[in-house]
Amino acid sequence: MQQLPPQPAYILHSRPFRDTSLILELLTPEYGRIACIAKGARRDKQRRQRALQPFSPLLVTLLGRHDLKTLGPVEAAGQALWLKGRAVYAGLYVNELLMRLLPEGDAQEPVFAAYQSLLQQLAMLQGECNRELEEPLRRFEIQLLLESGNLPQLDFSPLAGKPVEPSAHYRLVAEDGLVPVVVPPGCPLRGDQFSGADLLALAAAMSAAPGAEPMEARVLATAKRLGRLLLRPLLGERPLKSRELFRQVYLAD
C-alpha cells in the first residue's frame, strides 16, 4: 500500500462511516483538502477518536492509491487550540468555507498558513462578543479569496488601466474587477460600490502582518461587504450550516 510522507494537518469535518470508522476531511499544506478513512476511530474512543478533534494540529500519515486514503499513524503536532464561546462558531464557519471552496488534492500552503494564524488568533479571544471576531474572520476571508483566485486587485482598475485613486469610486463587476463609477456628492454608495480610499486602506491592511495594527472600522466594513459579494456566487444557494447554528445559539450583538 502506498504511503504518503507525513503531513501537518487539521480536521475540517468528520462523519461516521460504517459501524466503527470515520471519514475525515483534512486540510494539509501539500495536498490541500483531502479525505481519508480513520478505521476503528469510533470504537477506540479513549485514544484515537479523542485525538481526532477540530482545531488540533496533527501530523498524519496517509495510505493508499485511491482518492479516499486510509489514515495511518497520527501524532500531535503541537498543543491543541481550545476555542471559547463565539470563537468556536467562527472556527466552524471557516472550516465550512474551506470545505465548500477548496478543490480536493491541490496544494494549499498559503491557505494552510493563514488557517493556522487564524486559529491562534481565535484561541486568544474570550468569545464573548461578535465584534472581537471581525478582524480575524475578515482577514481570512480576503486571504482565502486571494489564494483561490477570486479576489480582484484592490489597488488597480483593469478596465481603467490605472491604479485605484483615493478620491474616486468603484463598482465591483464579476468579469471586470473594480470599475470606476461616478457617485454624485451626498449620495450613499450602493452595495457593490466602494470608495478608492477604503479599497487602498484594505489593500494596505492586508499587506501588514496580522495584529501589527488593528483595522479601522471603515476598513473592516469594506472587507466584510467585499467578502460577502465575492463569496455569495461561490457558495451558491445552499446556506452555511455554521451560520444557522450560530444564530440558534446566540442573539446578534
Q: For residue 32, which of 98, 116, 120, 100 has the smallest C-alpha distance?
A: 98
Per-residue model confidence as pLDDT tens digits over 202-227: 999 999 876 678 899 999 999 999 99
Instruction: Find the mean pLDDT for residues 157-171.
Output: 95
CA triple 100-106-110, angle to 5 deg: 85
> Does residue 244 have a pLDDT over 50?
yes
Inside any domain, residue 222: yes
> Does residue 239 have a pLDDT over 60?
yes
Q: Residue 15, CB half-sphere, CA atoms under 13 Å: how many? A: 2
62 and 123 belong to one structural domain: no
- Say how far apart CA 34 and CA 12 lie, in whole Å: 10
Q: Look at residue 62 in the predicted model and tell me its pLDDT.
A: 93
Q: Report the chain's mean pLDDT, rounded to a whole number.
A: 90
Contact 44, 24 (CB under 8 A): no
- Say how far apart CA 217 and CA 107 lie, in whole Å: 34
- Say how far apart CA 99 and CA 114 lie, in whole Å: 15
Q: Look at residue 253 in the predicted model and tell me its pLDDT.
A: 45
Report the percent of the chain where pLDDT is more than 70.
95
90 and 71 belong to one structural domain: no
- Cell of residue 165, nine digits: 485613486
Model confidence at 176, in pLDDT bands (50, 70, 90)? very high
Inside any domain, residue 229: yes
The domain boundary residue, chosen from 56, 76, 96: 76
Contact 191, 171 (CB under 8 A): no
Number of domains the chain contains: 2
Per-residue model confidence as pLDDT tens digits over 19-78: 888 999 999 999 999 999 998 887 765 555 567 889 999 999 999 877 789 999 899 888
In which domain, by residue range, is 69 found? Answer: 7-76
Inside any domain, residue 196: no
Per-residue model confidence as pLDDT tens digits over 83-132: 999 999 999 999 999 999 999 989 999 999 999 999 999 999 998 899 99
